[in-house]
Structure 1
Amino acid sequence: MQTADLVLIPLLDSQHALAQIARVENGLALLFFTDQVATPRSKPHAIAGEDVIAALCIPVADLPSDIWPIIGYEAVPRIAPYHDTALDRLDIVDATHIEAFVNAVQGLYPWDGFPDPDYFTLMLRDENTLPVRARMTADFPKPESP
């Protein structure tokens, strides 16, 4: 995986979230996330800056390239401060948390499902605007009692 690659992250409903590797440096990859979904056969298209809802770093060694397919590459939108800040000063998360985040963006996992109910909100570029499809724990069906 390298800068400009368009990456698909599997979702719980068998679709994929669209992300892009915006930068790679010092063993870290900066990924831009959208609320868009795609399939491995989708025609690659550039991600517009206004479509980037979050930017997170992951160690390059932790990128699950076997389950996060690359569908092409396109120009990377230039978004301050992400292109002007050392990657090790940005939020560094692991692949499991990224997968939970993109599923929460799509409403497939509770937005407030982590011990800190604001965990995903703090990942957003605009913490005042939740993704349209985000659902809270109370919005999910309750398990039936025996």
Structure 2
Amino acid sequence: MPSFDVVSEIDKPELSNALHQANKELGTRFDFKGTDARVELSESTMTVFADNEFQVKQAVEVLCLKLAARGIDLACLDYQRIEEIGGGKAKQIILLKEGINSDLGRKLVKQIKDKKLKVQTAIQGDQLRITGKKRDDLQTVIAFLREADAGIPLQFNNFRD
């Protein structure tokens, strides 16, 4: 039976490339000369550092342009408020949203079932497995999920016939 997985992932190599490009641009831009503007990446967060709140906003804009150019959907970013960290410095933490949590998974399963398509949906950890007898039904589900507002970017992979 044909099946596919619905996931929400961030391409880690592209993310690190975009981060590197943003840091490079922050180091060469005239309005950031002599400042300590930079972006750091940890497991599931990015932290933007700069000298003041305005420069943090500008650095986040540069970062977003680089992420978009590398094909990373900006809907997977969750911006926290800008904090003063002393010494006239400021930072902003940006959380990376990955995976489909159980509440969103249940909501998507309910929406698919309400469409009355002949497919089975199973929540498997942080992804959904959609199985059906006809390839056309699966393609209808993919089209429906692209239209639905899940709040996070969804990818469809592991399509098996």
Answer whether TM exceeds 0.5 for this pair: no
Counting strand residues as a fraction of each chain, which structure ranks higher?
Answer: 2
Structure with max Cα Rg: 2
Q: TM-score, normalised by structure 2?
A: 0.22
Between 1 and 2, higher relative CO (CA 8 Å, sep ≥ 6) is seen in 2
Counting helix residues as a fraction of each chain, which structure ranks higher?
Answer: 2
Q: TM-score, normalised by structure 1?
A: 0.23
